[in-house]
Amino acid sequence: MITIIGSGKVGGAAALFTALKKLDEQILLLDVVKGLPQGEAMDLNHSLSELGIDVEIIGSNDYSDMKNSKIVVVVAGSGRKPGMTRMDLLKINAGVVKDVVENIKKYSKDSFIIPVTNPLDPMAHIAYKVSGFSRNRIFGMGNMLDISRFTQFIHEATGYSRQSIRALVIGQHGENMLPLMRFSSVSGIPLISLTFSVLSSLLRLCLNPAIFVSGLL
């Protein structure tokens, strides 16, 4: 079983993507809000039935239901509001993640943990410290999201197929991330070949994409 803790937009999307990829036969959506994970699970299962996908999504408010999960994705916590940085969420979400990880340790002591809650890097460190798990069982998803966003911005700027784009971003999941223009390419041609104005625009978009997204939602 794969457990996703947090049943908002990101948690629901993660559950659907996991089901579509058939990564496990059973997915647990867990949330402290009564009825929220149950309703989300019901809605997602209707979609899976239409597609003929035999994966069961279950909604619950009880941590004990996650017993013996193989993978636990932590999405719980507050999201960014317009004008906020990821680090502004540190005090708000640190306690939430600490409580969540204590329950993971209690009910799924052999699991792998994937923190998603912002600020991602400190939350991954909290998960590591609180769980006592070895470091190869804690995977922050930060740069994967950064790379997918960078790929989209390159696609929009050049008009080339996403399949022909190779993007690379390293460092913190936040304003201090580092897009590597020289090691990113379109059809094998390094991005550094683009004009300075295009590169500057890509850099600006890559460093602050969530600000634009949260400002529109």
For residue 178, what are the β-bridge partners? 170
Active-site positions read 173
Report the pLDDT averaged over residues 103-126: 95
Residues 42-84 have pLDDT tens digits of 999 999 999 999 999 999 999 999 999 999 999 998 876 766 6
In CATH, what number does 2-140 get?
3.40.50.720
* Domain ranges (residues) in the chain: 2-140, 143-216
Residues whose CB is less than 8 angstroms from the CB of residue 62 and which lie 6 or more positions away in sequence, other chains included: 30
How many C-beta atoms surround the C-beta of residue 72 within 10 A? 26
Give the pLDDT confidence score for residue 209 in this predicted structure: 65
- pLDDT score at 212: 58
pLDDT, mean of residues 8-18 = 95
What angle do helix axes 196-207 and 209-216 make, rounded to 10 degrees?
60
Cβ–Cβ under 8 Å, residues 102 and 64: no
Across the chain, mean pLDDT equals: 91
Q: Max Cα separation, the chain?
A: 55
Fold type of domain 143-216: L-2-Hydroxyisocaproate Dehydrogenase; Chain A, domain 2 (3.90.110)
Tokens of 151: 């790929």
For the stretch 157-196, pLDDT in tens is 999 999 999 999 998 887 788 899 999 999 999 998 888 8
